[in-house]
Amino acid sequence: MEAPSSKVPGTIVLGTIVLFVLLAFSSSAAAAASFMVEDEGGFFPTGRPVEFHDRYGWRSYRARFEFGLDSSGRALTKDSKLSLQVFKKDGEVWEYSCRAKGRDALTANVNVIPDKAVSVVVECRIPEREFAKAVDLDPLDVGIPNLVFHAIVQDGIARLGAQRGLYITPTPDSETGDLGVYASAEHSPSNPLVIFHSN
């Protein structure tokens, strides 16, 4: 007759495996917490003789950034989404959404900053055909538009960061067109053509 105690080590091993799985799951779930930041307002001057938003009749904007960080804490979860609405002076509304997966996906720069906070800067490459609707131009004339949005997560709460707006990387067609004067010379967010200014 087999002694009952001979099955105990297997039970302990199985219990230990289950415990590790549960701990890993709870750790991953905590790291993948969901956040949401909303922003709305007008546009801050960039110092150009005629500001972009004035030239193309942009009155105000509304943005919504819904995101999570994966278990590494260094990348967005696949369901992260950035949405932008631009309200024009003629009453029209242009809107575009960008997700962390698929074509023209969000790219993210996630960094830990002092005071145990996490900086999340995302960029969204807007297809020329979509952006052309916002400025009533031919898609060939708009260059390569990019939406930038910044959020900071601290103590489980997300708030707006400083870097929010749009910049355009020029193409051979757009350099000589209407948007040529607004193109980013550095091809980067450091020279935005539109700066979001919260209410």
Enumerate residue ranges in the chain where pLDDT < 50.
1-31
Residues 10, 64 share a domain: no
Q: 71 is in which domain, residue-wise?
A: 33-198
pLDDT score recorded for residue 174: 84
78 close to 105: Cβ distance less than 8 angstroms: no
Residues 68, 27 share a domain: no
Secondary structure (DSSP) of 57-106? TEEEEEEEEEEEB-TTSSSB-TT-EEEEEEEETTS-EEEEEEESSSTT--
3-state secondary structure of 187: coil
pLDDT score recorded for residue 104: 66
Residues 117, 80 share a domain: yes
Residues 62, 16 share a domain: no
Of residues 162, 163, 158, the one with CA closest to residue 68 = 158
Residues 39, 23 share a domain: no
Residues 93, 9 share a domain: no
The number of folded domains in the chain is: 2
Residues 57, 11 share a domain: no
Each residue's pLDDT tens digit, 54-93: 999 999 999 999 999 988 778 899 999 999 999 999 999 9
Q: How far apart are alpha carbons 129 and 139 in whole angstroms?
A: 5
Residues 15, 99 share a domain: no
Residues 171, 137 share a domain: yes
Residues 140, 76 share a domain: yes
Exposure b/e, 25-64, CB count within 10 A at least 16 = b:
eeeeeeeeeebebebeeebeeeeeeebbbeebbbebbbbb
Residues 83, 69 share a domain: yes
Which residues are paired to 111 by β-bridges? 119
Residues 113, 25 share a domain: no
pLDDT score recorded for residue 82: 97
